[in-house]
Chain A
Amino acid sequence: MVGAKEDILSRVRVALQGDAPVTDIPRDYRQSGTMNQEQLIDHLTDRLVDYKAEVKVVLATDLQGAIAEFLANARSVVVPHGLDAQWIAGVADADVVTDSSEAPVPVDQLNATDAVLTSSAVSVAESGTIILDGTPTQGRRAISLVPDQHVCVVPASTIVEILPEALPRLQPSHPQTWISGPSATSDIELERVEGVHGPRRLSVIIVEDA
Chain B
Amino acid sequence: MSINLGIPAVRTRGEGNLFAHEKFPTAAKRELKNQQLRANLRHATHTIRDKRINVVSELPDWEDLRESGSRIKENVMARLPELLEQFEAAFTARGGVIHWANDATEANAIVTSLIRATGETEVVKVKSMATQEIGLNEHLESLGINAIETDLAELIVQLGHDRPSHILVPAIHKNRTQIRDIFRAEIPNASPDLTDNPKELAATARAYLREKFLNAKVAISGANFGIAETGTLGVVESEGNGRMCLTLPETLITVMGIEKILPRWEDLGVFMQLLPRSSTGERMNPYSSLWTGKNGQDGPQNIHLVMLDNGRTRALADKNGRSALHCIRCSACMNVCPVYERTGGHAYGSTYPGPIGAILSPLLTGITAEENSSLPYASSLCGACFDACPVKINIPEILIDLRAQDVEAQHSVRKAPTEMDVLMKGASWALSSGTRLKFLEKGLPAGRLLAGKDQRISWLPGIAGGWTSSRDIPAPPQSSFRDQWAQREKFQKSQGPQLFQQSQASPKPTGKQGE
Contact = CB atoms under 8 A, between A and B. Distances in A.
Q: Do any beta carbons of A and B sit within 8 angstroms of each other in the complex?
A: yes
Nearest to A30: B61
Given A101-B298, A173-B230, A163 B272 contact: yes
A176 B140 CA distance: 30
Interface string B281-314: 0111111111110011111000000010100011
Contacts of A193: 198-199, 202
Contact of A197 (B71, B106, B240, B258): B240
B334 interface: no
A186 B169 contact: yes
Q: Specify the main secondary structure of chain A where it touches its partner.
A: loop
A110 B40 CA distance: 39
A188 B176 contact: yes
A200 B74 CA distance: 40
Interface string B141-157: 00000000011110010
Contacts of B248: 107, 142, 145-146
Contacts of A27: 68
Given A175-B290, A188-B152, A189-B43, A180 B285 contact: yes
Contact of A188 (B64, B67, B71, B201): B201
Interface in A1-51: 1, 4-5, 7-9, 11-16, 19-30, 47, 51
Most buried by B among A5, A129, A167: A5
A126 B62 CA distance: 14
Contacts of A8: 84, 100, 102, 258, 307, 309, 313
Contact of B106 (A4, A14, A25): A4
A16 B77 contact: yes
Interface in A185-201: 185-191, 193, 195-199
B381 interface: no
Nearest to A126: B283
Contact of A16 (B65, B75, B78, B232): B78
A145 B61 CA distance: 34
Contact of A51 (B44, B270, B286, B299): B286
B244 A1 contact: no
Interface string B110-133: 100000000000000000000000
Nearest to B298: A140
Contacts of B314: 15
Given A4-B100, A23-B75, A188-B179, A142 B247 contact: yes
A1 B9 CA distance: 24
Contact of A29 (B40, B68, B201, B313): B68
Given A11-B313, A15-B313, A108 B210 contact: no
B206 interface: yes
Interface in B81-111: 81, 84-85, 94, 99-102, 106, 109-110
Interface stretch (B261-269, B465-473, B482-490): B261-269
Most buried by B among A182, A183, A185, A195: A185
A16 B298 contact: no
B188 interface: no
Given A145-B240, A176-B290, A190-B44, A25 B71 contact: yes
B367 interface: no
B235 to A, nearest CB: 11
A190 B171 CA distance: 10
Most buried by A among B179, B202, B272: B202
A184 interface: yes
Given A1-B110, A140-B297, A187 B171 contact: yes
A184 B169 contact: no
B332 interface: no
B479 interface: no
B214 interface: yes
B217 to A, nearest CB: 12
Given A28-B64, A145-B243, A196-B152, A15 B316 contact: yes
A98 to B, nearest CB: 14
Interface in B35-66: 40, 43-44, 47-48, 60-61, 64-65
Contacts of B266: 164, 167-168
A178 B44 contact: no
B368 interface: no
Contact of B74 (A23, A124, A166, A177): A23
B81 to A, nearest CB: 5
Contacts of B265: 167, 172
Most buried by A among B110, B176, B313: B313
B319 A19 contact: yes
A177 B67 CA distance: 27
B317 interface: yes
B339 interface: no
Nearest to A142: B247
B77 A20 contact: yes
Given A1-B100, A174-B292, 9 more contacts: A8-B84, A29-B65, A108-B214, A145-B240, A173-B94, A180-B282, A181-B286, A187-B169, A197-B209
Nearest 7 CB-CB pairs, A to B?
A198-B240, A15-B317, A164-B269, A197-B240, A183-B240, A11-B313, A127-B284
28 contacts: A1-B106, A4-B106, A8-B309, A9-B85, A11-B313, A12-B80, A12-B81, A15-B8, A26-B68, A27-B68, A28-B67, A29-B61, A101-B298, A141-B243, A141-B246, A141-B298, A145-B240, A145-B247, A167-B265, A178-B288, A179-B287, A183-B238, A184-B286, A185-B152, A185-B239, A187-B153, A189-B198, A196-B240
Interface of A: 1, 4-5, 7-9, 11-16, 19-30, 47, 51, 101-102, 104, 107-108, 111, 124, 126-129, 134, 140-142, 145-146, 163-164, 166-168, 172-191, 193, 195-199
